[in-house]
Chains A and B, each alone.
Chain A
Amino acid sequence: MPATVLKGHDDLLPARGAALARFASRLTERPWTITAGDGAELAAHGLAPAQVESATAVVAMFNYLTRVADASGIELDYVSPLPAFTPARDRDPAPRPDRAGWPDLGPEFRTLPAFPEISDAWERWRGYVFDSDEPLSRRQRRVLARAAAEECCDRRRADELAAEEPRGGGEVLLDSFARKLSRTPWRMGPADLQALRDASFPEVALLHAVAAVALQNAESRLAMGRACSPG
């Protein structure tokens, strides 16, 4: 099964697995298109509401982890029995809809009610990444989150951060970094972090910039995935 997935042949999976694969793919590439119909399809394949919520959380978390991997340049460091996966770095991202077409999802969608322990841990993580004052200022974190939320077409979060337009060179750099890491993480390269380093951001601030962008991508997908569940 894993080799089938890596080759993109999701249609060869058993029906339940194919439904999960479609959900993961769409929530990652076009999260703004997720609707209650996606939840109904997963339910039709026997997935309980808590399992759909869990699936959403896994996809959201991997949208964090893959962006950290792409931005930091880590290498594959374990021996996989699977065929090598070659990223298509020239692939174009999905076109974004006009702002009027962005889903508007409130705070109730940014939690995991079936898993209070994970939900609480997520909130502690979120507070640390978005509300700390060092090594990036809270304002710089909000500039990053605003750009990432816009790239995810997350209307509520983008509106919440609408006043955080970049002002000045350092913030413009952060905004550009966030947009690239959100929209085309597969095109990240060493020059992207170096540009921030050259603007005198310390190394640990680079890590927090990556984390803020990656977490906003995760949170926006958490909200959009949760919106497919009834109630």
Chain B
Amino acid sequence: MVGRMAWLGTVSRREAEGALAEAYAAMAARPVPEVYVPAHGDAPGIIRAHSLDPELIRRAFAISGALHRSALDWADRELLSSVTSRTNECFY
């Protein structure tokens, strides 16, 4: 069942089946700092925003996952992402 999260249709982890359930499981298995694990128990909103196309989840988040293994440490990556979000006037 497709629900309307905020403005775009999404499918929750509880309702996910098949390829989407597998994509959610793969994302949940990735190491993530505790602070970024949402308390609501569903997939993080930025991943759910892609949930109408599980293949898009796999392709897009393959990059963000791999960047964690690139040449900068966590603090540098957090600094860069925070400044980018702030400059774009975005809470994310």
CB within 8 Å for A54 and B35 given contacts A74-B46, A121-B62, A190-B7: no
Residues from chain B with Cβ under 8 Å of A186 in the complex: 88-90
Q: State whether B8 touches A128 (Cβ < 8 A).
A: no
Query: In the complex, how many angstroms separate the beta carbon of B85 from the nearest chain A beta carbon?
Result: 5
Is A207 engaged at the interface, CB distance under 8 Å to the other chain? Answer: yes
A75-B45 Cα distance, complex, nearest whole Å: 7
Q: State whether A118 touches B8 (Cβ < 8 A).
A: no
Within 8 A of B (CB), among A119-164: 121-122, 124-125, 128-129
Query: In the complex, how many angstroms separate the beta carbon of B54 from the nearest chain A beta carbon?
Result: 11
Q: State whether A91 touches B92 (Cβ < 8 A).
A: no
Is B67 engaged at the interface, CB distance under 8 Å to the other chain? Answer: yes
Q: State whether B46 touches A54 (Cβ < 8 A).
A: no
Give which listed residue, B6, B82, B84, contacts A2 with CB less than 8 A. B82
Residues from chain A with Cβ under 8 Å of B9 in the complex: 203-204, 206-207
Total contacting residues, chain B, CB less than 8 A: 51
Residues from chain B with Cβ under 8 Å of A21 in the complex: 79-80, 83
Is A69 engaged at the interface, CB distance under 8 Å to the other chain? Answer: yes
Looking across the interface, which residue of chain A has its beta carbon closest to that of B49? A72
A206-B51 Cα distance, complex, nearest whole Å: 12
Q: State whether A58 touches B39 (Cβ < 8 A).
A: no
Q: State whether B90 touches A66 (Cβ < 8 A).
A: yes
Q: State whether B66 touches A69 (Cβ < 8 A).
A: no
Q: State whether A72 touches B85 (Cβ < 8 A).
A: no
Residues from chain B with Cβ under 8 Å of A17 in the complex: 76, 79
Query: In the complex, how many angstroms separate the beta carbon of B58 from the nearest chain A beta carbon?
Result: 9
A64-B85 Cα distance, complex, nearest whole Å: 10
Query: In the complex, how many angstroms separate the beta carbon of B81 from the nearest chain A beta carbon?
Result: 5
Q: State whether A72 touches B6 (Cβ < 8 A).
A: yes
Instruction: State which of A33-41, A76-84, A100-108, A167-175 sits at the interface with chain B.
Output: A76-84
* Interface, chain B (partner A; CB < 8 A): 2, 5-9, 35-40, 42, 44-46, 48-50, 52-53, 55-56, 59-60, 62-64, 66-67, 70-72, 75-92
Q: List 12 A-B contacts (CB under 8 A).
A: A1-B79, A21-B83, A25-B86, A54-B72, A62-B84, A63-B84, A66-B90, A78-B37, A89-B89, A185-B90, A207-B53, A211-B56
* Interface, chain A (partner B; CB < 8 A): 1-2, 5-6, 8, 10, 13, 17, 20-21, 23-25, 28-29, 48, 50-51, 53-55, 57-59, 61-81, 85, 87-89, 91, 114-115, 117-118, 121-122, 124-125, 128-129, 185-186, 189-190, 192-194, 203-204, 206-208, 210-211
